[in-house]
Amino acid sequence: MKNTAPASPALPRRLSLVAQTVQSLREGIQSGHWQKSLPGERDLCERLQISRRTLRAALRELEREGWLAVAHRQRRRIQPGRAGAGPGAPKKVMAVLCANPFLSLPPPMAFMIDTLRERLAKAGCSVEFHVNRACYSEKPARAIEKLLRHNPAGAWIVFGSRRPLQQWFIRSQVPCLVVGSCSPDIALPSIDADYRAACRHAGGLLLRKGHRHIALVLPQNAQGGDLDSEQGLRESLKNTHEANLRVLRHDGSATHLCTLLDAAMGSPSPPTAFLVARARTVLTVMMHLMRRGHRIPQDVAVISRDDDPFLQSTSPALTRYSNNPAQFTRRVSMAARQLVETGILPVQAIRLMPTFLPGETV
């Protein structure tokens, strides 16, 4: 007997990254985001956070479909009639601004940007990544105005911004979300780890372990979360009269940091415990102390304010605080989606408490 049952529906297929890139580029052309030609390959790879191999595969597909034409040694030209030809509203664009290239970012931040792109794509929004150190200078106005003029976007996510950049966004009233901490007088929405609470907890832990001479290691020109870290640690020590806090502010180089460590350990009241900001910095601190013959934790305790996958391999196991990347990314994604859809966000500082990971260094 002939089977007359209806055929099963086709299984849904997850779009490949090449297909997603084709769709994103096509929608950008339709919306008029690009008018005459596409930017160069390096620029597109940074904006869309894809490899050059993926981009070239997508561009070949668009050429095959008749969206692009390629002339010798020229950028890919958009075929007449394609730009601005799409139906409905222009595709929403969320721009991400960072001081460092994507490949140099810590894994948690790279994971966040990649996940953010995927989640916003489901909401009909593309994510472009821009690297511009000049925007993080003491006078960023010219650089940020040029960047925005050539890269229009519905809203901006700014990673680790400095006070002059934050002030520019307030004056210009450009929708912005800061991933990091703002200066106390800056009224911008921001999301960051609760470094103040984490360092207050660390100070209490060290006091209970009997430490009274404590060093806090921070980069020079501390701001945002680094200032919160110092405030939290001081709060934990203020009621213990014999407690002494020394702040070591380094310029980012191992040489300068090691000089500061030697000076601290050679003082009449050397620190017996170090609380260190930045995952890479804590390795320098531990290795230099051990090279100078200080045993960890028998002679000196070390706590890292931050976490990174490579710190899981330290011996002794490092006592540290860790942010939940999935939780952090979820909060950033929710805020970013609201910002790009409405153009506004409540001016509030969202702070997420890191998880304490006990180790062998205290």
Pairing verdict, β 176-179 and 190-193: parallel
**How sure is the predictor about 47, in pLDDT bands with cuts at 50, 70 and 90?**
confident
128-133 mean pLDDT:
90
Q: Which residues pair with 355 in a beta bridge?
A: 322
Four-point Cα dihedral 253, 258, 259, 263, nearest 10: 140
DSSP state at residue 267: S
- Identity of residue 134: A
Asked whether 47 and 41 are in contact (CB, 8 A), the reply is no
What does the pLDDT read at residue 72? 59
Question: Does pLDDT of 90 surpass 80?
Answer: no
**How sure is the predictor about 88, in pLDDT bands with cuts at 50, 70 and 90?**
very low
**How sure is the predictor about 213, in pLDDT bands with cuts at 50, 70 and 90?**
very high
Instruction: Name the pTM for this structure.
Output: 0.73
Lowest mean pLDDT among 108-117, 166-175, 185-194, 297-306: 108-117
Domains and CATH numbers, the chain: 16-89 (1.10.10.10), 195-322 (3.40.50.2300)
Q: State which of 21-25, 111-115, 187-191 shows the largest mean pLDDT.
A: 187-191
- In the β-sheet with 176-179, what is the strand arrangement from edge to edge? 125-131, 92-98, 155-159, 176-179, 190-193, 349-352
Q: State the CB neighbour count (10 A cutoff) for residue 186.
A: 19
Question: Does pLDDT of 109 surpass 90?
Answer: no
Nearest of 280, 190, 192, 263 to residue 228 by alpha carbon: 192
DSSP state at residue 214: E
pLDDT of 321-357, one tens digit each? Answer: 999 888 998 899 889 888 877 778 888 899 999 999 9
Residue pointed to by tokens 């990649």: 114
Lowest mean pLDDT among 80-94, 239-253, 296-310: 80-94
Nearest of 135, 206, 212, 204 to residue 174 by alpha carbon: 135
> Mean pLDDT of all residues in the chain?
87
What does the pLDDT read at residue 15? 59
Backbone phi, then psi, for 266, in 5-degree steps? -95, 0
Distances (CA, A) of 159 to 28, 97, 150, 190: 24, 6, 20, 10
- Identity of residue 59: L
**How sure is the predictor about 82, in pLDDT bands with cuts at 50, 70 and 90?**
low
Question: Does pLDDT of 10 surpass 70?
Answer: no
Question: Does pLDDT of 246 surpass 90?
Answer: yes
- Residues in Cβ contact with 59 at an 8 Å cutoff, skipping those fewer than 6 apart: 25, 38, 68, 76
- DSSP per-residue letters across 100-159: S-GGGS-HHHHHHHHHHHHHHHHTTEEEEEEE-GGGGSSS-HHHHHHHHHHS--SEEEEE
Give the span between the Cα atoms of 325 and 321, in whole angstroms. 13
Rounded CA Rg of the chain: 25
Residue 222 tokens read as 């501390």
